[in-house]
Amino acid sequence: MERISLTYPLSKETPLGSPQVLAIGHFDGVHLGHQKVISTAVAKARAAGLRSAVMTFSPHPREVLGQGGQNTSSLTPLADKLDRFAELGVDTAYIFRFDAAFAAISPVQFVEEVLRPLKVRGAVVGFDFSFGHRGEGNPQMLSELGESFMEVDIVEPYEIDDAKVSSTRIREAIAAGEPETAALLLGRSYRITGTVEHGDGRGRTIGFPTANVSPNSNYALPRLGVYAVVLHVKGKVHGGVMNVGVKPTFETGLTHPTFEIHIFDFDEDIYGQQVQVELLHFIRAERKFASVQQLIEQIGADSQQARQLVESFLQRLSAGGLGQ
C-alpha cells in the first residue's frame, strides 16, 4: 500500500496519481463500521477499474481544536491504522495533516482544492461524516458539491445489539474491562503495540518473570487489573497473563500504569523487541495484598485461568474465528 502525506494547501509537488475511489474519515479503531466504509470504497474501485484510497487525519482533530480529554488517546494510533488499511486491500493511504489552516477551510474548499485535484471519482463516507470549518459539511453537501466530477456513497451505521458500532462504544468497553465486547465491535481483539523494557526484576524473584511493555503510542487505557492475553513477538504467538496497574502491593504513589506480562513457558531475552499484545479477557481488578505470599498464590490462580482462556482463543483462531 502506498502511503502519502498531505498538507493544506496542496503543493505543486503533491503526487496526484490516477483517478480513484476514496474513503474519507478519521477511522480511529478501524472498527466494523469503518471497515464497511473502506470495503465499500475498495469494492467500487475494483468494479470501476480505479485505484482505491483512504484519507485519514493526523493528529487527532480534537487536539487541534482544543477539545482534548480522553478522546485524544487512540484505539489505533496511525501506524496501527495504516496496517489495518493495508489488510483491507487499500491501494493508497493519504495521511492529511490536520492543523489550524486545514481546520479553517470551507466545505467548498475541501471539495475543490483537495478532492478535485486528487482526481477523486468516487467518495465513500459514513452517515455521520462532517467536513470543513466547524464541521459545516455533511454527506449530502459533499454529494451536491462534488456532483460534477464524483459520485458519493453514504454508508449507513453498522449495528450490533440494536446500537451502532462506534469508537466511543469501544472505548467504554475497554475502560470497563470488557475486552470481549471491544473485540465484537472491532472485529478483532483490542491490541497494544509496545517495546519490552527492563523493569525492577521483582517478578523473577517470586517465580513469575515478566516482560514490561512500554506502549509505543497514547493508546486508550484498559481498566486496571489482570488480563488473559496473547503476545506477538518475533513472528510467534505466546499466551500470557498481564497486569495493567500501579503495583499497590510493592509501590505507593505510582500514577502511570505499567503493563507487565508473564509469558507462559517462555525464557528468551526480548529486551528492546517490539511486541503486540491482544487483550482477551479481564480476570480481576488490581488490588493490594497483605503479603507477598498471598500475591504469589493469586498470580498462580490467575495464570491457570489465563491459560485456559488463551487455549480457547487459539482454538477459535485456528478454526478461523475472531482474532484475525
End-to-end CA, the chain: 19
Write the pLDDT tens digit of every residue in 199-244. 777 777 777 899 999 999 999 999 999 999 999 999 999 999 999 9
Higher pLDDT, 146 or 65: 146
- Give the model's pLDDT for residue 324: 46
- Give the model's pLDDT for residue 253: 63
Q: Which residue has the cell 503476545?
A: 231
pLDDT greater than 80 at residue 249: no
Write the pLDDT tens digit of every residue in 91-143. 999 999 999 999 999 999 999 999 999 999 999 999 999 999 999 999 999 99
Confidence bin at 323 (pLDDT 50/70/90) = very low
pLDDT greater than 90 at residue 63: no
Confidence bin at 17 (pLDDT 50/70/90) = confident
Of the given ranges (42-56, 145-159, 207-221), which has the lowest mean pLDDT? 207-221
- Give the model's pLDDT for residue 199: 79
Query: In terms of CATH architecture, what is 188-318?
Result: Beta Barrel (2.40)
Q: Which residue has the cell 496519481?
A: 17
- Give the model's pLDDT for residue 70: 46
**Domain limits, CATH 3.40.50.620, in the chain:** 2-160
**Domain limits, CATH 2.40.30.30, in the chain:** 188-318
Write the pLDDT tens digit of every residue in 188-201. 999 999 999 987 77
Instruction: Name, of 12-21, 196-205, 262-271, the range with top average pLDDT.
Output: 262-271
Q: Return the closest-CA partner of residue 241 out of 202, 283, 274, 213.
A: 283
Whole-angstrom Cα distance, residue 195 to residue 213?
5
CATH node for 2-160: 3.40.50.620
- Which residues are CB-contacts of 297 (< 8 A; sequence separation ≥ 6)? none
pLDDT greater than 80 at residue 64: no
pTM: 0.92
pLDDT greater than 60 at residue 68: no
Whole-angstrom Cα distance, residue 144 to residue 185?
32
Residues serving a catalytic function are: 260
Asked if residue 21 lies in contact with residue 48, where contact means CB atoms within 8 angstroms, the answer is yes
Mean pLDDT of 136-161: 97
Whole-angstrom Cα distance, residue 300 to residue 5?
48
